[in-house]
Structure 1
Amino acid sequence: MTTPSKSTAPTDEAGSDLTFYTTAELAREAGVTRRTVMHYAEIGLLPPDQVTASGRVLYAPYSLRLLRDLIDLRALGMTLEESRDMVTLRRATHAPDGTYRRDWVREDVPLSDEQLQRLQTRLHVLNSAYERQKDNLARFDRWLTKRFVATRDS
Structure 2
Amino acid sequence: MHLYFVCWGNICRSPMAERIAQECAREHLTASELEELSIESFGVSSEELGNPIDHRARVELRRHGIDADNHRARQITEHDVREADLIIAAEDFHLERLRALGARENQIALVTDFVPGADAGDPLPDPWYGGAENFTSTMNVLNEAMPHIFAAVKERLQA
- Shared topology, TM-score over 0.5? no
Q: Which has the larger Rg?
A: 1
Output the TM-score relative to the length of structure 1: 0.30
Output the TM-score relative to the length of structure 2: 0.29
Relative contact order (C-alpha < 8 Å, sep 6+): which is higher? 2
